[in-house]
Structure 1
Amino acid sequence: MSSIMKVFLLLASMVYISKAQLGESGQQCLCQRVRNQIASKSDVKDIQIYPATVFCDTVEIVVTLNSGLRYCLNPKLNAMKRLLANVIKQKTPTTSTTARPTELSSTARSTSTARI
């Protein structure tokens, strides 16, 4: 087999593997499937909100239960829109000293974590 043919086959296999890793949509999102409802609030340990990026164009909401199970929620639901609005409201500095129903912490990667 000629060396040009070997290079072509190697290049073609690299392209095929990279396309397979990106998935069907061409994006690298954490959430492949989403749920439309949340478990009971007493079972929820942590909620992480990942904003849209160049790698994934949707907001992703990842819920961690006390048992360690993790799943994604649909950010288009009204309850999730209210949760996102609360998180955004908490990120903006305010001068009020009223107690808030959730705590918010964020990391350097712009990931917001809300604790219920």
Structure 2
Amino acid sequence: MVYKLVVALAVVALTSSHELTMNGRCSCLRITNKIVFSPNQLKTIEILPASASCENVEIIVNLKSGRQICLDPNASQIRNIFQQLVKKKGKKNDKPSI
């Protein structure tokens, strides 16, 4: 289950983009430290870095149902998943040496 979620998060994270258009505030009012959805419910994932308008890193999961969930980037489960994503992305970009 976790492997499927990691793969789904990788695909969505690599294909999503976001333009910051907020007026001086964070997008997430409440965050959760648990993944409470299945990979097949995912529509997009937005990772917003800290900025002048919001000092927090925000991870916003958009579900196919229209619901948005904000994940805690400091939660160990969430950090582990994204560390695995970074490792997988690095392996995809490695070119064999000649």
Fold shared, TM-score > 0.5 on shorter chain: yes
Residues 55-85 of structure 1 deviation map (CA, whole Å, 9 limit, x = unaligned): 2111100001111111211111112212332
Q: Matched residue of 1:42: which SS?
A: helix
Moved more, 35-44 or 62-71: 35-44
Tell me how many residue pairs correspond in the alignment: 71
Aligned-pair Cα RMSD in Å: 2.4
Which residue of 22, 32, 35 corresponds with 1:35? 32
Percent pairwise identity: 32
Distance (whole Å) between structure 2 residues aligned to residue 86 and residue 53 of structure 1: 25
Structure of higher CA gyration radius: 1
| Structure 1 unaligned blocks of 5 or more | 1-21, 97-116
- Greater RCO (CA < 8 Å, at least 6 residues apart): 2
Distance (whole Å) between structure 2 residues aligned to residue 51 and residue 84 of structure 1: 14
- 2:94 match: 94
Higher strand share: 1
| Structure 2 unaligned blocks of 5 or more | 1-22
Structure 1 residue ranges, 4+ long, deviating more than 6 angstroms after superposition: none
Residues 1-23 of structure 1 deviation map (CA, whole Å, 9 limit, x = unaligned): xxxxxxxxxxxxxxxxxxxxx8x
- 1:80 match: 78
TM-score, normalised via structure 1 length: 0.50
In the TM superposition, what are the counterparts of 1:1-116 in structure 2 within 5 Å? Answer: 28-38=25-35, 39-89=37-87, 90=89, 93-95=93-95
